[in-house]
């Protein structure tokens, strides 16, 4: 993360902020485009009419573009940067965690709630640095099972069935 | 009114409502005491379960968690100098210094009694203010609600996080997400992109669970790769709080509770800001300001009474206008709507009994907090040893079960996971999440009121100035914006000055 400082000692721009502003501007243009073309059918009279479904998204698109411009152009008030410098191991763990969550969504239906949850508990705990297998294995089996029984018996919430349960 | 109060007490005084509320309180204290878990995360995860429970039971459970978590955060703040929740950050300053001096017991007791005092004080303010305000709010129509929603969203956006522009960005993006689906007035499709699951819009609770709970899990997985210092848990030892020490702090608690209740009633502020404001005011007004930061019981009393007073006060704008002041009340608002209770002035007329039952449950949790808190103080050493890795993985499983249970929809799980990744990116780039979530919730209301107003006035904006209440609201908003811009201008001039 790069942060520049001008002569008055005030933080000016920041690489992340510039990227956020650019992405927001693209989204804003996209929103205005969709509002004008797809929702309102390309008629200017329609999207400027408060009764049109395109009216509110169009207004929001304009506001978003202005906010993006403000982030890109105005100097940021001096403040301590809370964003952390990316570390390779931490980033890899986060990406692995996100992939595991996506896999859990798939497994939720393919394997059933209990089996997919047991695998997710083991995977996430390992990613979080836990290696205590005597606790981890019983927890991975008992917790989803208890949750499924409570959900189905006490709250009448049906969770997907699959392998084993 | 008395009929409604009596029926409210009767509704609250049922074994199921009591058990859910007190169970929620105990759970809230536990999660508040575990750094990394907050009231927002827990309330979001458990909200889907409440859809299957009667209103007083489900909402009582969530209120218990909310109150317990705000108090629970103070225990690790005192004993390990790590606030369990952001609202307990100011408590750590003096609380941990007292613990290091061997006075942990008196610090924890002061924190507990000040929390109960602040909470009870603000509950009575809620009782006194909400119903009369609702009577007044009956006169509001579309133009007034439009201004109220715009003002609240602007306030939430500008005070959340360190950069108001990023707050505005989050709020605008949230409002756009709120537009996804069918237009409520014409039935036209908006931002659906041919995906049938998007026709009904984005379900708020899975999105919220993802953005708060899953993003926190991913964040902590990343943090687990960094070297951490072993945290020393200080002993709950030393002398107990004396009556004279408590009595000396009563004026501070009254002042801080009043400030906390006021801050809580304003959308967007909340306990995190209240604790610092109350701490700062108490230090300025203290006869011994030099003791603050070095172990002043008055500092603990100010921070804890202030942050707990915000909890009942945040319910004022939510119940009266349907405007959530923070993320927890946004979830509560969702829970109310799911129960068929639409917050707003008519709620007090049509469902007054339920409102008063919630007031009664708030009072009960205040009294119960004294006993639960004393037990939690003794048990904290064990809570601190709970391995976070195991807790996080179980939290994820509960998130999935909760999100799925709302509509039995796989698409909700996808929304939740995407919300988790987006939430993590927002955390890492200092874009605040609360304005985004609250805007998703308020956008449909703001849109329908704005379009109704402009359709009625044939597109003329003068309607916002010509109606008496709307004109007064607009004037107030302009004054606040003017003061804010003036302060910014002065700050820039001061920074630009040579010395």
- For residues B222-232, one letter each, b for 16 or more C-beta atoms within 10 angstroms of the residue's C-beta and e for the rest, the string is bbbbeeeeeee
| Residue B119, both tokens | 């909470």
Q: CA dist A45 to A52, A54, B67, B162, Å?
A: 9, 11, 51, 40
Partners of A84 on chain B (C-beta within 8 Å) are 428
CB contact under 8 A, B218 and A98: yes
CB contact under 8 A, A151 and B172: no
Q: Which has the closest alpha carbon to B72: B48, B119, B38, B98?
A: B38
Partners of B52 on chain A (C-beta within 8 Å) are 155-157
* Whole-angstrom distance, CA of residue B72 vs CA of residue B55: 25
Partners of A85 on chain B (C-beta within 8 Å) are none
Q: Which has the closest alpha carbon to B267: B441, B39, B459?
A: B441
- Distance between B357 CA and the closest CA of chain A, angstroms: 23
DSSP A70: H
CB contact under 8 A, A90 and B222: yes
| Residue B47, both tokens | 């909200």
**What are phi and psi for residue B65, nearest 5 degrees?**
-65, -45
DSSP B266: S
- Distance between A163 CA and the closest CA of chain B, angstroms: 17
Of B190, B443, B455, the CB nearest to A50: B455
Partners of B49 on chain A (C-beta within 8 Å) are 155, 157
Q: For the packed helices B142-159 and B468-496, what is the interaxial angle rounded to 10 degrees?
A: 20
Listing DSSP states for B323-366 in one string gives --SSHHHHHHHHHHHHTT---SHHHHHHSHHHHHHHHHHHHHHH
What residue of B is the nearest CA neighbor of A122?
A: B393
* Whole-angstrom distance, CA of residue A113 vs CA of residue A119: 10
For testing contact with chain B, the best of A67, A83, A113, A114 (most B CBs within 10 A): A67
What residue of B is the nearest CA neighbor of A69?
A: B165
* Whole-angstrom distance, CA of residue A83 vs CA of residue B428: 5
DSSP B198: G
pLDDT at site B302: 92
ipTM rounded to 2 decimals: 0.86
Listing DSSP states for B212-249 in one string gives IIIHHHHHHHHHTTS--PPPPPPPS-SPPPPHHHHHHH
Local confidence pLDDT in tens for the 499 residues of chain B:
778 888 888 888 899 999 999 999 998 888 887 766 777 788 888 888 888 888 888 888 998 998 888 888 888 888 877 777 777 888 888 888 888 888 888 888 999 999 999 999 999 999 898 888 888 888 888 999 999 889 888 888 887 777 888 999 999 999 999 999 998 888 888 998 889 999 988 988 889 889 988 998 898 888 776 655 555 656 666 778 888 988 999 999 999 999 999 888 887 677 878 888 899 888 888 888 888 888 889 999 999 999 889 888 988 888 888 888 778 888 888 888 888 888 888 888 888 888 889 889 999 998 898 888 888 877 766 666 677 788 888 889 988 998 898 888 899 999 999 999 999 999 888 899 889 988 998 899 899 999 999 988 888 889 999 999 999 989 988 998 888 888 878 887 887 776 5
> Which region, left, alpha or beta, applies to residue B469 given φ > 0 means left and ψ of -120 to 50 means alpha?
alpha
- Distance between B390 CA and the closest CA of chain A, angstroms: 6
Which residues of chain A are under the pLDDT cut of 50? 1-12, 81
CB atoms within 10 A of CB B104: 23
Contact at 8 Å (CB) between A77 and B163?
yes
- Distance between B419 CA and the closest CA of chain A, angstroms: 11
Q: CA dist B94 to A2, B238, B302, Å?
A: 36, 15, 11
CB atoms within 10 A of CB B24: 29
């Amino acid at each position: 993360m790069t942060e520049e400082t001008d002569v008055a000692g005030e933080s000016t721009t920041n690489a992340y902020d510039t990227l956020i502003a650019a992405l927001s501007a693209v989204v804003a243009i996209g929103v205005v485009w969709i509002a004008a073309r797809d929702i309102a059918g390309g008629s200017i009279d329609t999207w400027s009419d408060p009764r049109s479904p395109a009216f509110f998204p169009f207004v929001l698109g304009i506001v978003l573009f202005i906010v993006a411009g403000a982030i890109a152009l105005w100097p940021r008030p001096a403040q301590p940067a809370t964003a952390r410098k990316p570390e390779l191991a931490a980033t890899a763990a986060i990406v692995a965690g996100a992939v595991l969550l996506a896999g859990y969504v798939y497994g939720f239906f393919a394997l059933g709630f209990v089996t997919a949850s047991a695998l997710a508990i083991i995977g996430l705990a390992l990613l979080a640095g836990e290696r205590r297998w005597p606790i981890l294995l019983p927890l991975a089996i008992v917790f989803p099972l208890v949750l499924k029984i409570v959900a189905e018996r006490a709250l009448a919430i049906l969770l997907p069935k699959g392998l084993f349960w | 009114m008395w009929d409604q109060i009596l029926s409210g007490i009767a509704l609250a005084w049922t074994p199921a409502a009591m058990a859910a509320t007190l169970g929620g309180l105990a759970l809230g204290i536990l999660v508040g005491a575990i750094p990394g878990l907050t009231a927002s995360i827990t309330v979001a995860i458990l909200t889907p379960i409440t859809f299957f429970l009667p209103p007083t039971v489900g909402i009582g459970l969530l209120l218990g968690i909310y109150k317990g978590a705000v108090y629970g955060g103070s225990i690790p703040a005192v004993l390990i100098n790590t606030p369990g929740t952001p609202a307990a950050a100011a408590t750590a300053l003096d609380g941990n210094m007292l613990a290091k001096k061997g006075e942990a017991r008196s610090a924890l007791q002061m924190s507990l009694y000040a929390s109960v005092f602040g909470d009870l004080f603000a509950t009575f303010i809620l009782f006194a203010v909400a119903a009369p305000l609702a009577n007044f709010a009956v006169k509001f129509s579309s133009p007034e609600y439009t201004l109220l929603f715009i003002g609240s969203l602007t306030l939430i956006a500008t005070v959340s996080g360190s950069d108001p522009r990023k707050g505005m960005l989050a709020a605008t993006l949230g409002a756009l997400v709120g537009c996804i689906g069918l237009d409520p007035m014409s039935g036209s499709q908006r931002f659906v992109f041919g995906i049938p699951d998007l026709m009904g819009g984005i379900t708020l609770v899975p999105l919220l669970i993802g953005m708060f709970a899953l993003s926190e899990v991913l964040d902590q997985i990343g943090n687990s790769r960094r070297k951490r210092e072993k945290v020393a848990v200080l002993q709950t030892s030393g002398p107990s709080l004396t009556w004279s020490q408590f009595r000396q702090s009563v004026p501070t608690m009254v002042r801080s509770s009043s400030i906390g209740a006021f801050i809580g009633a304003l959308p967007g502020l909340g306990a995190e800001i209240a604790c610092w404001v109350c701490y700062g005011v108490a230090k300025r007004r203290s006869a011994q300001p030099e003791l603050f930061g070095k172990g002043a019981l008055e500092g603990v009393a100010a921070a804890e009474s202030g942050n707990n007073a915000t909890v009942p006060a945040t319910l004022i704008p939510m119940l009266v206008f349907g405007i959530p002041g923070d993320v927890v009340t946004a979830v509560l608002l969702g829970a109310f709507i799911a129960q068929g209770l639409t917050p707003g002035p008519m709620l007090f007329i049509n469902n007054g009994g339920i409102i008063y039952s919630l007031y009664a449950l708030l009072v009960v949790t205040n009294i119960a907090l004294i006993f639960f808190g004393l037990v939690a103080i003794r048990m904290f050493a064990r809570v601190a040893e709970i391995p976070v890795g195991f807790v996080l993985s179980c939290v994820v499983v509960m998130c999935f079960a909760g999100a799925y249970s709302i509509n039995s929809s796989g698409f909700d799980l996808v929304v939740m996971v995407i919300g988790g990744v987006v939430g993590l990116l927002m955390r890492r780039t200092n874009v605040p999440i609360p304005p985004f979530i609250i805007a998703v919730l308020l956008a449909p209301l703001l849109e329908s009121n704005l379009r109704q107003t402009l359709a009625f006035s044939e597109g003329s904006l003068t309607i916002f100035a010509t109606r008496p209440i709307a004109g007064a609201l607009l004037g107030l908003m302009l004054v606040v914006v003017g003061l804010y811009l003036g302060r910014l201008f002065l700050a820039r001039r001061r920074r630009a000055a040579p010395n």
